[in-house]
Each structure stands twice: as C-alpha cells, then as structure tokens.
Structure 1
Amino acid sequence: MTAATETRSAPPVARPPASNVLTGTGALLRFNLRRDRIRIPAWLGVITAIQVAGTSSYPDLYPTQADRQTQATIMADNPAMRAMTGPGYGLDDYTFGAMMTNEYLGIMVVIVALMSVFLMVRHTRTEEETGRAELVRASVVGRYAQLTAAMATVALANVTLGTLIAVGMGGLGIETIDWSGSLMFGAAYASVGLVFAGIAAVVAQLSEYARAASGLAGALIGVAYAVRAVGDTADNGLSWLSPIGWAQASAPYVYDRWWPLGLALVVTGVLVAVAFALSGRRDIAAGLRAGRGGAAAASGLLGTPQGFAWRLQRASVLWWSFAMLLSGLAYGSAVDVMEEYADNEVIQQMVEGLGGATLTESWLSMIIALLAIVCTVFAIIAALRPRREETSGRAEAVLATAVSRTRWVATHVLIALAGGAGLLLVVGLGLGGGAAIASGDGDYVWTVLAAALAYAPALWFTASLAVALFGLAPRAIGLVWVLLGYAVFIVYFGGLLDLPNGLLDLSPYTHIPRMPASDFAALPLIMLTVIASGLLAIGLVGFRRRSIDAV
C-alpha cells in the first residue's frame, strides 16, 4: 500500500514595504553614477577643456587693450553679434574677464543645458520606456526614489562642472580673471544646468517616450536662447525671461552679481517640486500627456523599411534644418565687420593656413568647417539609430519579419548620408545668403554654397566610421565622437598652434579644400568618398554576422 504524500508549497515571501517614498535613493544614486562613470566625465572634460583652452588663447589673440577695445566696438555696433553672444557687459573697459562673460558664457551654457537634459531623461523617462523602472520599483524602493536619484545625479554633475570651470579659469593666472569672478563664472554654468535639469524632470512626466521628452526639453533650450537673443538685441528686458539671460546677468569678472543665480536656484526648486507633484499623479511608464491617436490603417509607405525609417527620423531632419539655417544666417550677417580684424597679427596667424585673399574669406572658410562638423553630429546620430533600436529590443521584432539586416540598417544610413548632405546645402544657403545681405555681394551665395557642399565626403566618412564601429565593435562607438571633437580642436587651434601636418591630417576635415579661401581639389573628395564606401560595407557585413543586442 502506497501512502499518499502531501505536497506543500513554500509560503510566499512578502516583500517588505518601503519605509518612505525616498527609500533606496542612495543605492540608485550610486548605481546611476556607476552607469555614467564614462559618460559624465566625458561631458565635464570636454566642456571644461573647451572653456579653459579657449580662455588661455585670448592673451595671444588680443595682446593689447586697443585690440580688446576693437572687439568691444564690434560687439556694441553689431546686433547680430549681440544676438549670438550677449548684451555686452564691461565694453567700456573690455578686459579678458569681460570677454569671457560676453563671448563664451551665453554659448557654452547651451551645451551645459543639453548635458542636463540628456542625463535627466536618460535616468527617468528612458528607464520607464525600457521597462527597467518597473523592475526597480518591484524591490524595496520608494515611489520618488528614482526621480530623486536622477535629480541628484544631474545636480552633482553640474556642481562638479562648476567647480572644474572655476578652478580651471582661476588657475590660468590671466589678468582680470581672478578667483572670485571664476567662482561666479563656474556657478553661472551650474545654475543653467540645474534649471534645465528641472525642466527636463517636468517634461519627463508629460510624455510617454524619452525621445519626445528630450525633443521638448531641447526645444525649450532653443526658446530660451532665442528669447535671450531677442531681448539683448532690442534691449527690452525680454532676456530676463531666459535662464541663459540670468547667467549672463550675473556678469562674472565685471559686476559679480550673485542674485540672478539665486533666481535660477529658486526656479529650479519650483520645477523640481512640480516634477514630484506630477510624478505622483501618474502610473509608471505612463505620461500625463496622452499620445496622439494614429490613423486606423498605416500608409503603404510606412509598411516599407525605408518609409518606416523616414517616419522615425523626419522630425529630427526638419528641426536640424531649421537650426542650421538660422546659424548660417547669423554667422553670415557678421561678414561686414571681419575686415576690422585685419591688423590683428595673431588672428592672421590663426587663419593664414586657410589661405584666401582677404580675412573675410579665411573666416568664412573656418565657419563653414565648423558648421559642417555640426552637421556631422546629425549624420552620426541618424546613422546610429539602428543601435538605439537594437539595445531597446525593437530591432529584434523588425528583423523577425522578412526584412534583412542589411536593408534595415541601410535605410537608416541612407537618411543619415542624404540628410547630412542636405544640411550642408541649408548651411550654404543660410551662410551665403546672410553674407550676401550683409555685404551686398550676391556672389557669396554660390561660393559659400559650393564650399559647404565640398564637406559632404568628410561628413560621409565620419558617419560611415560610426556604422563600421556599430557593425564590428558597438562598445567602441564613442571613438567617433572623439574624432569629431579632435576635428573641432584642429579647426580652432590647428593654425594658431602650428601643429605638424601628421596631426592635422588625422582629421578628415583637414583634407577638404577650404573654399572660398582655397582652390577646389577633387582628389581628396573622391578618396574620402571611396573610403567611406568601404567603411559602410564593413559595417553592414559586420552587423550581418554578429549577434543582435551585443552590448
């Protein structure tokens, strides 16, 4: 006789409830910092290096007070310069410190704002969109722990950046760039970053998708810059509605006013409080703003890989085109004042390697090179969109259909290459049009347009390198950004530092003929295009052979 055995299941283990809404914040903060142990130092290092290196070059660029006052006159008399930089503090006695406040602060804090937005969205909405936040919430974690940890992460990054800027600027030992002004200069950096961290925290509660949250916050950065530009140009006080205007109003090295930065801290506190209140009114992974209802049936184009890729990237293409057109017009409008620098020997040294019959031609060729590098940023981001789809898990679902890997990646790469060339076209029209309007010479439109389009092979090369790294070694994708940063350094300081040709040639942009200052040469453009084609082939073959989601 066999005795029946009784099966007993183990008693369920109850998860201890979180003791308060902030339980686990410290652990999440440490986890965030570990995840971003390369990303955050890279942001801080690049921003600090640009600011400190640029500042260190000014005593050579403007060795006498007369040189600095010439620059002050240009700042005061040219509305386009005020729109690009700021209102112009201390122009009566234009010291090196005043130059930093007027010519660097208003532009550099835009990069700081972008850093804050990307980091905040990464640690909030992206975590919810990918489902990781739900897994974290399943443990002993308070309701507001993730948002608090994200805010602490971004705040720590901004405070560290402000400290690095203050130490770097004060340590240069340049006349009028003292320690008290440097401390305020670093605090102004951090204040803008904190405000936009709060803005990003709020918009992350509104949208269901990280991309939409980043786009909305990025658009608000653009609005803040535009409001500041209009206010400074018209001198109507409108710039006081912009966090960028508050940072500039502190006027480091000139007036050293702390209260505008206090205003930024108050606004940051209000934004953070709003973000917490909104977070408590929604479910995880949901947004307070409902998504638009789609059509009952997708169009035929959306059912194709190329149509779907265009749908994913079209908004980015349009916004980038608008931004590059405005940038081109703004820079082009400044050509009428460039000849006032003709007697500055150091500026001549910086651009003499570009050739050109006039300083205006040399300056235009440098601006075209810089804007071409900015266009390359779009091309890299667009070319690496398959990587984002891969790591999010969406690529696997697409590739489970009849779509081949090669065709799927190639559709995104085509948008990157064609879109990048299209942006160069927009840059050429904007910059050439602005120069033509400012100078009254219509020939600028065609010469600048040709010069901008000549950079297409360099753009294709860099984007193709990103594709090759995506296919062969996804972990090494960051190298393409290093190359791009090096290219910017070469454009700014290559001629000034008289670097050897071996170092200059490491940048693909060095091989492009610097029109209108130099003559056209087809051979380097053909060579870069051929190499780019080879890199594309390597990337496509590499992705076809490796496993999906190789991180």
Structure 2
Amino acid sequence: MNALAGTGQLLKLGLRRSRIMLAVWVYALVAYLASTAYGFKKLYDTPASLRDFVSGINGNGATVAMYGRIHVAGSVGGITAWRMAATGGALVGVMSVLLVVRHTRGDEEAGRLELVGAGAVGRRAPLTAGLLVGVVANLALALVSTIALIAFGLPVAGSLATGLAWTVPGLCFTAVAGVTAQLAETAQAARGIALAVVGVAYLLRAVGDAGRVSWLTWLSPIGWAQQVRPYGAERWWVIGLGVVVAVAVVFAAYALVERRDLGAGLLPARPGPADAAPYLRSPLALAWRLHRGALLGWLAGFVVYGAAIGAVLRGLGDLLKNSSGAADLLAKMGGQRGLEDSYVGTVMGVLGLIAAAYAVQVVLRMRTEETAQRLEPLLATRVRRLRWSVGHLLFAAAGPVVLLGVAGLAAGLAHGLRTHDLGTQVPRLLGAAVVQAPAAWVAAAIAVLLFGAAPRLAPAAWGVLGVFLLLGQLGPVLKLGQAVMDLSPFTHVPKLPGAELTATPILALTAVAVAVTAAGLAGLRRRDIG
C-alpha cells in the first residue's frame, strides 16, 4: 500500500474537526497584529516621536530581551513587525503544536487512528495529514495578516514579509510537534515536550538579543522571524531557511514513525508501582498527580515573565516620554496615577488572562478524563462526581493565585533591587498581580458550566477567554463602549497599584464565579457520563 494513501481524506477530516479552533487562533492573532499596527500609527505619527521610541527600545536591555531589537526604525510597519515577531512567533508556535499533536498523538491515544488504520490508510498518512493541518493554519495566518496590513496602507512587500515571517517559527514548530508525537506515548507529554522547545527557542532569542552572544538568536526559529526585517531590506532568504529546517525535521519525524508500534512512543514509558502510595488514595491526590507537571511549568514561565516586567519598569519613563498618546493609552488600560502604575496595571491584566488560561486548562482536563474513559471506572468506586470534581477545581482556584503571586513577587524583587526599594515594590507589585485572580476564576467557572451542562461545547471556553483578551487589547484602542468592555471580568478588576483597592468588585467577581461553578456542578450531577 502507498504509505501516503488516505492523506487527503484525513486532511479534510482534520480541517473540519479543527475549523473552530483554527479560526479562533487566526482571528485572535490577526486582531492582535491589527491593533498593534493601529496603535503605533496613532501614537507615533511624526518621524521624531518614532525615532525617540526606537532609540528608547534599543537602549533598554530588558525590553530588548522581551521583544527583540528594532532593526527597521523608519516606519510604523517596521516597529509593528518588530513588536509581533517575538511574542507573535511564540504564539504561532503554540498554535502549531496544539493543532499537530491533536491530529497525531491525540487521535492515536483516543483510539481513532487504530480504527482509521484498519482501512486503506498508509503508514505515514496520519502524520502527513496532521502536519498539513499545521501548514494550512500557518499559511492562512500569513495570508490574512498580509491583507490586514495592506488595508492599513502599509507597503505590500513589507506586509507580505511580515505575514510570511510568522510562518518561519510556525512551520518549524509544526515539524517539532510531528517529532514529539512519535517520541511520547501520550498527547500531554508530546505537547509538553514541544512547548518546552518553544520556550527554549524564546529564551535563546532573548539571551541573544540582550547579551553579547548574538549568535544565539540564530539558533531560534523565533529569532529568524525577527531577522526577516520587513519594511526594510527584506531578507527573504531567512524564510527559506525556516522552510529548509522544517522539512529536515519532518523527515526525522517520518523516520521515527517507521520505528514504533501504533499506540506506543519511542521514549519508554516508566512502569509505576503495583500499589499506590498512601498519600495518593484520594481524588485530591489524583488531581495533584495529574496537574503537578503543568503547574510547575506554568510557574517557571510566570517567574520569568514577572522578572522581565520588573526589569523594564525603571526605564519606562524614558521610553515613552516623547509620546503623550502612548501614556494616555496606558492610562486608559491601567489606571491614572502615573505612567509606571498605568503600565503595571496593564501588564498585570495580561498576566491575569494568562493565569485564566491555566485555570481553563485545568477544568478542561476533567473533560479529557471523561472522554478517555478514565472517569467511569473511578466513579464505579465510592468516589462521587462532586468529590472528584472538587479535587480538580481546587487547582483551578488556587493555581491562578499561586501563579500570579510568584509573578508579582518576581516583578517586585526585580524592580525593588534596581531601585533599592524592596520594602515598597514587593508588596505593591504582588498586590497588583494577585488582585487579578477573581477575574480568572470567572473564566474558569464558565468552563465548568460548559463542562457540566453542555460537555461537547466545553472547548468553547477557550473562545470565551479569547473574547476577554480581545476586549482588553482592542477595547481601549477602538474606543469601544463601556457596556461592551464590561462583558470582560478583567474590566472590573481594580487597576492596582494606580487605582484604589475596593472590595466590592473583588467580592462581586468571586460571587459570580461561585454561582456559575455551582450551576456547572449541578449540571454535572444530572447528566450522563461519557
């Protein structure tokens, strides 16, 4: 049989199953790009303000580590491409990993590929179809991004280069996910390894941009996206470099798929003990066992991001002193008492959204346990549904607090050490971070409601979180009405440290989260499992 037989049909099936997920990712990333271009166009409308902004960025080591160095300084398009290259490249990498693992190792773990493989389907067809889903997503993102930038009046060549620059990390991490799907025995492990590679790539780029070892940037696909340099002397060959590396990694994935059995991974699974330890004999202990790895990974990311925020704060005034528009925008998004307080309120709101993503992930893990048929045997014992769910929900509730707490602590330490004012900065930034937790609980509660009342719609919780993100990022830029902005729970969070801390919105958000969670648990009690 042809090793690629059935690839077309599997590709159609994969695109159909991921049509909503793919559309949400493309829409969110393009909206992020468009809002960035619109904001820069409004804020830096003179050559002098643009020049001062670029010199401020390139002179701030912490900012360069976070976003990279600006190579094309003479246009709004250049700084838009700069702003999106690092963070956008990492997000595109995450999108690619999730899509590919879902249609390779995820389908294999769920038993779907075994059924499909019983038909006229070649050995390499499932892997090829999964990789092609990632390729289609990246090309669709490049096309829509290019059209959006051209619509803003930016040059066609630079807009095309910006769109294609995103495909460099996207295609590379698509191929990496194809490899990890062969190495790991579970979808969770395959995602974890691939996302760790994305994190290492971002770290290599950060160290290469901020330090004297600039060659490290060239070890990262995210760094290659920056080196395309749209709206300047575009380096089209860098895009070709990304394609060549991606193809080479894909060949490695094909070599690996021939060397393993269906349902198995090349990395040997470690057998567990015959009997569980005493501390594992409860639903809460099981939840800890399931969530501890992800929690530790998220903790590491929050520590790094928090420290980066604290390192940037000291030079913020010099960075934005020549743009009153930037200061006004930050004030609208994060409070009124000073530029630094406004910036802290803004970035902590973003951290709150990221913490909400962790909480939603925890809740949706319950749905994964159900669909994988691991829940029914557990409920056949003395464990009841509510007791089982409470173990997971404790992580959805406490996890955001812990993540935000370590980020605020890291930011306070970084800023306090630079300003020699630890006693003031640590509690100030810690409070600004932790106050975001009730809004994250609301997002998690919506996921619980969907899981309990309409389990097939549970993944839509990611779409709800995406709406909150877009309202927070685009709302102030597009001057949306307050009624629309109020749809996001993060709008109601006190914008510390610039605003006054009041208990009313915190208690109200907590009450909403508790009520919605209770409704979801009531639905879980009444519906059929599976």
The two structures have a TM-score, normalised by structure 1, of: 0.93
Q: Out of 35, 54, 63, which is 1:53 matched to?
A: 35
Bigger Rg, which one: 1
Q: 1:415 to 1:284 in 2, by over 3 A?
A: same
Equivalent residue number for residue 395 of structure 1? 375
Q: CA deviation at 1:171?
A: 2.1
Tell me how far 1:343 sits from its aligned partner.
Answer: 4.5
Which among 433, 442, 464 is matched to residue 452 of structure 1? 433
Tell me, yes or no, if the aligned pair for 2:103 and 2:130 is still in contact at 8 Å. Answer: yes
Q: Deviations over 1:406-428 (max 9, x none)?
A: 11111101111011111111121
Over residues 283-322 of structure 1, what are the superposed CA-to-partner deviations in whole Å (9 max), with x where a residue is unaligned?
1011111012323432112221100110000011111011
How much has 1:189 moved relative to structure 2?
A: 0.9
Letter in 2 for 1:250: V
Cα contact 1:181–1:253 (8 A) shared by 2: yes
- C-alpha displacement of 1:515: 0.9
Aligned mates of 2:434, 2:391 — CA distance in 1: 22
Residues of 2 paired with 1:45 and 1:497: CA distance? 16
Q: Provide the residue aligned with 1:99 in structure 2.
A: 79
Matches within 5 A, 1:208-227: 208-227=185-204
Preserved contact between residue 7 and residue 121 of structure 2 (Cα < 8 Å):
yes
Higher RCO, Cα 8 Å, sep 6+ = 2
TM-score, normalised relative to structure 2: 0.96
Q: What's 2:96 paired with?
A: 116
Is residue 266 of structure 2 the alignment partner of residue 288 of structure 1? Answer: yes
**In 2: Cα distance, 1:488 partner to 1:207 partner:** 32
Please give the alpha-carbon distance, in whole angstroms, between the structure 2 residues aligned to 1:65 and 1:186: 25
C-alpha separation in 2, matches of 1:419 and 1:112: 25
Equivalent of residue 528 in structure 1, options 478, 494, 509: 509
Equivalence for 1:144: 124
In the alignment, the residues of structure 2 paired with residue 145 and residue 89 of structure 1 have an alpha-carbon distance, to the nearest angstrom, of: 42
Q: Structure 1 counterpart of 2:336, which letter?
A: G
Residue ranges of structure 2 left out of the alignment (5+ in a row): none
1:186 to 156, 159, 163: 163
- Deviation by residue 1:222-267 (Cα, 9 ceiling, x = unmatched): 0001011111112421111111111211111122011111111111
Of 118-127 and 467-476, deviating more is 467-476
Match of 2:299 in 1: 321
User: What code does the residue aligned with 1:517 have?
Assistant: G
Query: Is 1:85 aligned to residue 85 of structure 2?
Result: no
Letter in 2 for 1:46: A
Structure-2 separation of matches of 1:343 and 1:381: 41
Q: Give % identity.
A: 39
1:32 to 2, 14, 32: 14
| 1:350–1:493 CA contact under 8 A, matched in 2 | no
Secondary structure of the residue that 2:315 maps to in structure 1?
helix
Q: Secondary structure at the match of 1:124?
A: helix
Measured in 1, the distance between the counterparts of 2:508 and 2:335 equals: 23
Question: Shift in Å at residue 445 of structure 1?
Answer: 0.9
Measured after TM superposition, the shift of residue 478 of structure 1 is 4.4
**CA deviations over 1:442-500 (Å, ceiling 9, x no partner):** 21111111122212221212211211121112233344333322332333343344432
Task: State the partner residue of 1:14.
Answer: none
8 Å CA contact 2:24, 2:463 repeated in 1: no
| Mapped pair 1:519 → 2:500 | yes
Aligned residues: 526
Point out the more displaced range, 426-435 or 366-375: 426-435
Letter in 2 for 1:179: V
Displacement of 1:402 in angstroms is 1.3
Residue equivalent to 1:477: 458
Q: What's 1:542 paired with?
A: 523
Question: Is this contact kept in 2: 1:470–1:477, CA < 8 A?
Answer: yes
Kept after mapping to 1: 8 A contact 2:359/2:440: yes
Gaps of 5+ in 1: 1-18
Change (3 A) 1:145 1:476: closer
The 2-side partners of 1:180 and 1:495 are apart by: 30
RMSD over aligned CA atoms reads 1.5
Contact 2:409 2:430 in 1 (8 A): yes
